[in-house]
Structure 1
Amino acid sequence: MRLIKISGEGISSGEVSESELGVGKPYVAVIGGSGLYDPGIFEEPVEVQLHTPYGLPSDNVIIGRVKGEWVAFLPRHGRGHRYPPHKIPYRANIWALKALGARVILSISAVGSLRQDYAPGDFVVPDQFVDMTKNREYTFYDGPRVCHVQIGLEPFSNDLRRLIIESASKYNKTHDSGCYVCIEGPRFSTKAESRIWRDVYGCDIIGMTLVPEVNLARELGMCYALLAVITDYDIWVPHQPVTAELVEKTMGEKLDLAKRVMTEVIPRIPKDVHLKCQETLKNACV
């Protein structure tokens, strides 16, 4: 696979030109979670190494065609799962995808279930989240410019969610809503914490990587949606141990279906869908 090296310092406009890239600019980016380190769905793939103002992304970005559309792919944890959830270079990842041309992000992630009827192996397309992380880089606006981006009503793009739900429901049991509680990690919850997320906060699924990924995408006016793969019941279930091995095993069993969903959804995404997501930036900055 051909490797293209680009220095972020040389991007005067904040965006890579098509001539620098040497291939078509991707409108859609896919971020792969645990177990998904190679999209396996691309034609004419190239690798792009992009230095950003926030350092290197988790890995080189792969750009290729999916049913004629140029698409970017980035493994969230890096190939070989090098980055734990709390050390992922989220700002570099999102900045790089935007600089390469992406305006839409489709994310795939492993999650635990906080509900009996949300079973391992099911898909969930969440519509809300609760942030319980503690020590991450949450914003591009660290000053002197200050912005307060309002994403509370629709943190996920409903246009993208509808497309994912429609496709995913054909292949797998899919829940069309859910509240995702994001914890710091890398440890799993205690039983007491798990019961709080479920019984007090009323959350449906739990994971470690949504925040600040979704925050940062929306700060740049990008649309974001998540296809969550339930790999286990969280520890609130009696005698249900959560292990990394269990997560990887269940995720692996569903990856082909998740890729099929993305392959169907990508060509159906309208090229102006990001305009609605950019509305969140209006009047956000002081």
Structure 2
Amino acid sequence: MTVYAIIGGTGLTQLEGLTIHEALPLDTPYGAPSADILRGSYAGREVLFLARHGQPHRIPPHQVNYRANLWALKQAGAKAIVAVNAVGGIHAAMGTGHFCVPHQIIDYTSGRAHTFYEGDLEHVTHVDFSQPYDRQLREGLVAALRAENAAFSDHGIYGCTQGPRLETAAEIARMERDGCDLVGMTGMPEAVLARELALPYACLALVVNPAAGKSSALITMAEIERVIEQGMGTVKAVLARVLSN
């Protein structure tokens, strides 16, 4: 049976309904993960849960130890990963409260430890990253969103920026020219590290604000938190459907 791991981002530092059997304070060759890996049951299935930004929410996107997080999940027995991400909307279809299951990603980050294949290697390894997200997992998320009657897009290009600051309007305009539909700060190197560990990986993105320059209103954390609170019910229902299927 596939053991799913859920990586919770901003707004999902805890998974309501998760019956915790044990907390695993794992160590890895890359240091400690963001928080203990929680092993439990959710929607009748064994599941692993990790709060990407720590518990409490304290680790900014550029300082998340992505290598330790992915290594620890693999070590704990994960066979597939669903990542939940709060993002900004660039494309007109990606309005506040909209969900997206992205199919592609562009990496604008810098200075992040982004591979396991470095140091004293016996040989150079390249992984195929043409399709960064697992097709079967994406289809499961799309089916679950459809069953929940959620407003969603079944594809999109996620642009990952460095953070922790939000982007300038000019940067968003450039990303839009590049084809990005969404902007976030945690999609990379998480996705490619999962690929290097041969872990199927997909993203469930919730649009929590218009990207810079896409609205005349000021982007505030209070508004972002309000949208997250409204959207988390759907996130949890979608996760339950994916797990139970």
Interval containing the TM-score (normalised by the shorter chain): over 0.9
User: Which residue of 2 is the match for residue 196 of structure 1?
Assistant: 174
Q: Counterparts of 2:21 and 2:99 in 1: how far apart (Å)?
A: 28
Whether 1:132 and 2:108 are equivalent positions in the alignment is: yes
Q: Which of 58, 66, 72 is the aligned partner of 1:82? A: 58
User: Which residue of 2 is the match for residue 160 of structure 1?
Assistant: 137
Q: Which of 34, 40, 44 is the aligned partner of 1:58? A: 34
Secondary structure of 2:188's counterpart equals: helix
Q: Can you list the C-alpha shifts for 1:77-122, whole angstroms capped at 9, x where unaligned?
A: 0112110000001010000000011010001110000012211101
Contact map agreement 1:37 1:75 (CA 8 A) in 2: yes
Contact map agreement 2:18 2:41 (CA 8 A) in 1: yes
Secondary structure of 1:206's counterpart equals: strand
User: Which residue of 2 is the match for residue 253 of structure 1?
Assistant: 230
Q: Which of 262, 265, 276 is the aligned partner of 2:242? A: 265
Mapping 1:113-262, distance limit 5 Å: 113-145=89-121, 146-152=124-130, 154-171=131-148, 172-198=150-176, 200-262=177-239
Residue identity matched to 2:225: E
Residue identity matched to 1:192: A
Q: Counterparts of 2:67 and 2:3 in 1: how far apart (Å)?
A: 19
Contact map agreement 1:129 1:180 (CA 8 A) in 2: yes
Q: Counterparts of 1:243 and 1:84 in 2: how far apart (Å)?
A: 17
Query: Does 1 or 2 have the higher relative contact order (CA < 8 Å, sep 6+)?
Result: 2
Contact map agreement 1:125 1:176 (CA 8 A) in 2: yes
Q: Can you list the C-alpha shifts for 1:152-175, whole angstroms capped at 9, x where unaligned?
A: 1x2100101011001112321110
Q: Can you list the C-alpha shifts for 1:127-184, whole angstroms capped at 9, x where unaligned?
A: 00000001100000113322111111x2100101011001112321110000000000
- Uncovered stretches (5+) of structure 1, i.e. residues with no partner: 1-24, 269-286
User: Which residue of 2 is the match for residue 46 of structure 1?
Assistant: 22
Q: Counterparts of 2:174 and 2:20 in 1: how far apart (Å)?
A: 47
Q: Can you list the C-alpha shifts for 1:224-244, whole angstroms capped at 9, x where unaligned?
A: 001000001111224132233
Whether 1:92 and 2:79 are equivalent positions in the alignment is: no
Give the TM-score taking structure 1 as reference length. 0.82
User: Which residue of 2 is the match for residue 68 of structure 1?
Assistant: 44
Computing the radius of gyration from Cα coordinates, the structure with the larger value is 1
Mapping 1:105-116, distance limit 5 Å: 105-116=81-92
Following TM superposition, by how much is the alpha carbon of 1:246 offset from its aligned partner in structure 2, in angstroms?
2.3
Secondary structure of 2:26's counterpart equals: strand
- Root mean square deviation of aligned Cα: 1.4
Give the TM-score taking structure 2 as reference length. 0.95
Secondary structure of 2:73's counterpart equals: helix
User: Which residue of 2 is the match for residue 10 of structure 1?
Assistant: none
Q: Which of 71, 74, 79 is the aligned partner of 1:103? A: 79
Q: Counterparts of 1:43 and 1:52 in 2: how far apart (Å)?
A: 25
Secondary structure of 2:82's counterpart equals: strand
Q: Which moved more, 1:229-238 or 1:70-79?
A: 229-238
Q: Counterparts of 2:79 and 2:196 in 1: how far apart (Å)?
A: 12
Q: Which moved more, 1:40-49 or 1:131-140?
A: 40-49
Q: Counterparts of 1:58 and 1:144 in 2: how far apart (Å)?
A: 26
- Uncovered stretches (5+) of structure 2, i.e. residues with no partner: none
